[in-house]
Homo-oligomer: A and B are copies of this chain.
Amino acid sequence: MHYTRDNMAGLLRSHDINPTHQRIEIAHALFSRQEHLSADQVMAIVNTRHSETSKATVYNTLKLFLEKGLVREVIVDPSKVFFDPNTSPHHHIYEVDTGKLSDIDAEHVQISGLPPLPTGMVTEGIDLIVRVRRAS
């Protein structure tokens, strides 16, 4: 699949999001790269040519995408949140030195032996993060 700006409007609509110029640009930044980006990185990408999207809109839009299930949040770095255009179930490898974050397909990963949840609680998601560094 190839993500063009034109596809973005349909993608947004299919997630019940009114497609505006700013939202299309932000979605395009995430989906054309298929990378994990921080709000700051999105901000920089969207405003490379000329300043056209404010910080408030970047944060508002990313939060909206999150609520609508268009992207997922990955919390691995204590100083910033990453936004992930890949919403299929998967896990992450985090290189602590470089900050590089990559996907692990969940298909072949098996997690067993988890205790039962406290009553009245439902699982919202299971995050598995493998923290790695260069062998010293």
Contact = CB atoms under 8 A, between A and B. Distances in A.
Question: How many chain copies does the complex carry?
Answer: 2
A117 B132 contact: yes
A104 interface: yes
A112 interface: yes
Nearest to A114: B109
Contact of A112 (B76, B105, B109): B109
A87 interface: no
Query: What is the size category of the interface that chain A forms with chain B?
Result: 35 or more
Contact of A124 (B78, B105, B128, B131): B131
Contacts of A120: 134-135
Interface in A105-132: 105, 108-115, 117-118, 120-132
Given A75-B76, A75-B78, A77-B75, A121 B132 contact: yes
B132 A123 contact: yes
Interface of A: 73, 75-78, 81, 93, 95-96, 104-105, 108-115, 117-118, 120-135
B114 A111 contact: no
A134 to B, nearest CB: 6
